[in-house]
Chain A
Amino acid sequence: MIVEELAFLALAAIAVGTALAALLVRELVHTILWVSVFFVSLSAIYFLLSAPFLGVLQLGVYAGAVTILLLFGVMVTRKRIFAREAATGIGPFPLALALLAIVVLAVVAASLPQQVTLVRSYDVTLLSTTLFNQDGAWLVLLGLVMLSALSGAIYLVREGRE
């Protein structure tokens, strides 16, 4: 029990630290490397929360595909890929902090049950049954959204629009 708590705290610290580092570092390529570490730490949290299928999905989709896609975007849009960004101030940092405080107060004030009990046995058949039978409409909706996004992306980058 204590092992899981320590693991969760360490993973949470890594996640928050890498997310902050990704947004504060000046080189865009370093940002993408930090954010890939962030995705991997979230995947480890999913494994800890007895959702191993989601953990694998997070590794494949985020740490794999999204990271490569972002690197590709940097490669295509820059002449020197290690060029630095202009420094920006920490403008609405107090606003984000205030939002955080509100959420924390709401969590403390709400009478939530204190503990979540994790089960160690996991059956991916149950998840797939839920995904394709009970919540099948969501999956169809996702397919339609992806189709329209694909045609929209092709429309955006097509040649000869100037």
Chain B
Amino acid sequence: MTELSVASLLFLSATLLAVGLFGILTRRNFILLLIAVEIAMNAAILNFVYFAAFAGTPGGLSGQAIAVVLVGLAATEVAVGLAIVLALNRQRGSINVAEATSLKN
């Protein structure tokens, strides 16, 4: 039996969300944007695991199950993002999101 304070756990995920948001708003490279989105998403998954640990074994397992689903969802999102990166690179010759200004190819 060990104990951790809830506030420090939530503080960590809030900090990670802020770092991810900072990356999403400032970076121009598509791959860096994907990494920033992953950091923000991991902050959200971390919250599910915290509250699963907080709720105990019978009730909290739903939180862990949702976290498993979210990990799969985030991996799917990276795969689609890299497909977009490849398509963008082939059409524009650059993966700078500031240059991708039209949806038509």
Q: Which residues of A contact B (CB under 8 A)?
A: 1, 4-5, 8-9, 12, 15-16, 19-20, 22-23, 28, 31-32, 35, 38-39, 42, 45-46, 48-51, 53-54, 57-58, 61-62, 65-66, 69-70, 72-74, 76-77, 85-86, 88-93, 95-97, 99-100, 103-104, 107-108, 112-120, 123, 126-127, 130-131, 134-135, 138-139, 141-142, 145-146, 149-150, 152-154, 156-157, 161-162
CB distance from A147 to the nearest CB of B (A): 10
B16 pairs with A99, CB closer than 8 A:
no
B53 pairs with A50, CB closer than 8 A:
yes
A142 pairs with B73, CB closer than 8 A:
yes
Chain B residues with CB under 8 Å of A103's CB are 10, 14, 17-18
Q: Which residues of B contact A (CB under 8 A)?
A: 1-12, 14-23, 25-29, 31-32, 34-36, 38-39, 42, 46, 49-50, 52-54, 56-58, 61-62, 64-69, 71-80, 82-87, 89, 91, 95, 105
In the bound complex, what is the Cα–Cα distance between A91 and B105 (angstroms)?
A: 31
The one of A12, A23, A146 in contact with B19, judged by C-beta atoms closer than 8 angstroms, is: A23
The one of A116, A131, A139 in contact with B54, judged by C-beta atoms closer than 8 angstroms, is: A116
Q: A35-B39, A51-B52, A114-B6 are in contact. Are A73 and B85 (CB under 8 A)?
A: yes
B39 pairs with A104, CB closer than 8 A:
no
B64 pairs with A9, CB closer than 8 A:
no
Q: A65-B75, A72-B82, A107-B10 are in contact. Are A49 and B53 (CB under 8 A)?
A: yes
In the bound complex, what is the Cα–Cα distance between A122 and B24 (angstroms)?
A: 37
B21 pairs with A96, CB closer than 8 A:
yes
The one of A23, A54, A100 in contact with B15, judged by C-beta atoms closer than 8 angstroms, is: A100
B11 pairs with A107, CB closer than 8 A:
yes
A-B contact count (CB 8 A): 242
Query: Which residue of the partner chain A has the closest CB to B77?
Result: A149
Query: Which residue of the partner chain B has the closest CB to A22?
Result: B35
Q: Is the interface of A mostly helix, strand, loop or mixed?
A: helix
Chain B residues with CB under 8 Å of A126's CB are 57-58, 61
A61 pairs with B71, CB closer than 8 A:
yes
Query: Which residue of the partner chain B has the closest CB to A123?
Result: B57
A16 pairs with B16, CB closer than 8 A:
yes
B89 pairs with A76, CB closer than 8 A:
yes
A118 pairs with B27, CB closer than 8 A:
no
A138 pairs with B19, CB closer than 8 A:
no
In the bound complex, what is the Cα–Cα distance between A114 and B4 (angstroms)?
A: 8
